[in-house]
Amino acid sequence: MTARPGPHDLASGTIVGGYRVNRLLGVGGMGVVYRATQLSLQRDVALKVLASRLAADDDSRLRFLQEGQLAARVSHPHLVHVLDVGESHQGMFIAFELVEGETLKQRIDREGALVAPFAIEVVVTCADVLSTLHESGILHRDLKPANIFIPTSSSRRTAAPSSLIWASPGTSWAPRSRRRRGCSSGRPATWLRS
């Protein structure tokens, strides 16, 4: 997900279902992610809003809703928590725990190849989270460095047994003919947290 300003941007200060938009964080295939403040609790969150070009498409709306519901039902110390799913006059939204840092792709682009111990930790953590997702009936279809997040130490979750934590699942659904019965396929945006 990249931060590409454009006509889809909500202005800073816009209220979306109890969240005040602060700034654009990134643009993905199904939505736009903002740093926002949850007004009721005065805490910062990542707020994903369904892309306006998809707002009138019933299938896209259903997939977006299911993304939030699936993400909320999976619990793992390396998954960012879903805080809320809803709809306002600004569109459908999913609020996630906010994690600050950089993507694995950004790290590799800046520093080159990963050192072996860190690379092993990334692979082991990803495998553990994938296992949990699969046990929950979710297939990950977009695991790549741009979808893995390495948080700054200031955003560390102390309860995590490892230094890496994934973030919010985002979903892109496969055609029904390509799914196993009772198993949803999606592509959780994966983040790592140190």
Catalytic residues: 142
The residue type found at 180 is: R
Tokens (6 digits) for 83: 């805080």
> Rounded CA gap, 193 and 101, in Å?
8
The CA R_g of the chain, rounded to the nearest whole Å, is: 16
Q: What is the DSSP letter of 2?
A: B
What are the E-state strand segments in 65-173?
A: 82-88, 91-97, 101-103, 138-140, 149-151
